[in-house]
Amino acid sequence: MDSFEAYMKSIRKYPTYGHARSVQHINLIKDEYNALIHGNLKLVAKIASEYANLWPKFDVMDFIQEGNMALMRCADFYKEDRGSFVTYLGQAVRISIMQFIKSNTGDLSLFKTKGQREVFNNLSKVLQKYQNEGVSLQDLSKEYGCTTQDLELIMGTYNPGSIEDVLIDSPESEYILDESVKLIRIKIQQFRKTLSKRQLVVFDDTMYTGTKSLEEVAKEIGISRQGVRDIKSRVLRKATEYFDLDDLKRISVGEVWRN
């Protein structure tokens, strides 16, 4: 029995749907999906209102739009092992709004202190330390020169005293980061096409994955370590023109590759 015959045998157990039955199931799925979306619009609006009060420079409807987009993503990708849907959604909405604020605030004038701006500019890194590495809010506040309340606010969970409850067993921010990682990876694949064979090896092994030393790469492509350094410098110059600073930082610390 060839693979096609085996496949046909395996699918005989499923009933064949005609047009009417197919439409019935499609409508059922749409109805359930819409019910889930409509049932959580008030939660999105509530969270958006909180941020509108904190950042009056922005229109609350912009926050609602960002929140509703996060809601639709959550409806598409939620799984039970990700914890409570409400918690999953709440954190996803908050971080989506924070990303919107970050992308639309070039001078970061919303924040008064250097520490606040530093956290805001390195939000992905701060979340990584807090959620994946277990660094406490107190230690992070010392590292970045700000208060724990600043961290709660900037990390998208402004609810003093309850940030731990919001984040426990809740990978919403991980999902949001995964989505941004996918976009960076697409740009990386496009960037790799602009490199020569030697430049590609140097980029992959010393900058993207960071898994090899200069000496190892030098032996692999048959040049000196200084030659590798020179190629790496040229690749870095090209990369700074191709990627924005935040993406380049995430690539250089291995975040994009590891995820």
Same domain? 107 vs 234 = no
Q: What's the confidence (pLDDT) of residue 160?
A: 34
Exposure of 120 in the CB half-sphere (CA atoms within 13 A): 24
Q: Which of 16-20, 131-135, 248-252 has the lowest mean pLDDT?
A: 248-252
Range of the domain at 249: 194-258
Same domain? 47 vs 165 = yes
Same domain? 170 vs 198 = no
Contact 56, 110 (CB under 8 A): no
Q: What's the confidence (pLDDT) of residue 164?
A: 34
- Average pLDDT, integer, range 80-95: 78
Q: What's the confidence (pLDDT) of residue 175?
A: 45
Checking if the pLDDT of 215 tops 60, the result is: yes
Same domain? 109 vs 140 = yes
Total domains present in the chain: 2
Q: How far apart are CA 189 and CA 121, in angstroms?
A: 25
Same domain? 165 vs 240 = no
Same domain? 119 vs 225 = no
Same domain? 164 vs 45 = yes
**Domain's final residue, options 140, 174, 208:** 174
Contact 119, 151 (CB under 8 A): yes
CATH of the domain at 214: 1.10.10
- Has residue 70 been placed in a domain? yes
- Has residue 74 been placed in a domain? yes
**Region for residue 84 given its phi and psi (left: phi exceeds 0; alpha: psi -120 to 50; beta: otherwise):** beta
Same domain? 48 vs 165 = yes
Same domain? 169 vs 199 = no
Contacts of 188 (CB under 8 A, 6+ apart): 208, 251, 256
Same domain? 113 vs 81 = yes
Q: What's the confidence (pLDDT) of residue 236?
A: 85
Q: What's the confidence (pLDDT) of residue 173?
A: 46
- Average pLDDT, integer, range 55-75: 87
Exposure of 25 in the CB half-sphere (CA atoms within 13 A): 6
